[in-house]
Every structure is written in C-alpha cells, then in structure tokens.
Amino acid sequence: MYDRPGFRAGHRNLVAYEPEELGPVAGLELLHLQGHVGLDTLSWSRLGARLTGYDFSLPALEVARGLASDLGRAATFVQGVLDRAPEVRGRQFDVV
C-alpha cells in the first residue's frame, strides 16, 4: 500500500495541489496530524519544513522514525490521540 522504495528513491508523497496551496514551507515549523508511517510528513521535510508528525499508532511511528533516520531527515514523531494532544502543547507551529 505504501511505496517506501519509491519514497526512498526521492518520490514525494503529496498530492500536487498541497504544496501549491500551502506555498513555500522552507524554515517553517509544521505539525502533521495523523502522519502514520511518515511518508507525507517526510515529504514536507523534503520541501524544507521542520516537522513534527503526530499519530496514535506506535508501530506506524516506529516505521516513520526508522525511515527518517535512514534518509537522514530531522523529524519528531509523537504518539497521541488528536483530541488530547498534551505532548505538543506549549510548542508553536506555523502550520498544522
């Protein structure tokens, strides 16, 4: 279901209109909700954003952390439930 080999080879996992609508993200702090295995989250990282991925699934986040490490991408992945996000309270994000 997820093309991790293609992603590792440089493919971005975003729909074309997403970066067009959001505009330049280089240097911005993004919080990506329900990031799952990190392909979308790390796609934003490839565009220069500083990322925090947030998801309820620890196994998915472990895959995301491994992928970020393998690709040398700095990203933080946090486990939690969306309606109770104390893990990211107090932090400032430019885009959620």
pLDDT 10s per residue in the chain (96 long)?
566 666 676 677 788 899 999 999 999 999 999 988 888 899 899 899 999 999 999 999 999 999 999 989 889 999 988 877 666 777 888 988
Dist CA 42 CA 52 (whole Å): 9
Structural domain for 78, as ranges: 4-11+29-88
Residue 42 in any domain: the answer is yes
* Count: domains in the chain: 1
Residue 49's domain is classified under what CATH number? Answer: 3.40.50.150
Residue 96 in any domain: the answer is no
pTM of the model: 0.81
Dist CA 13 CA 16 (whole Å): 9
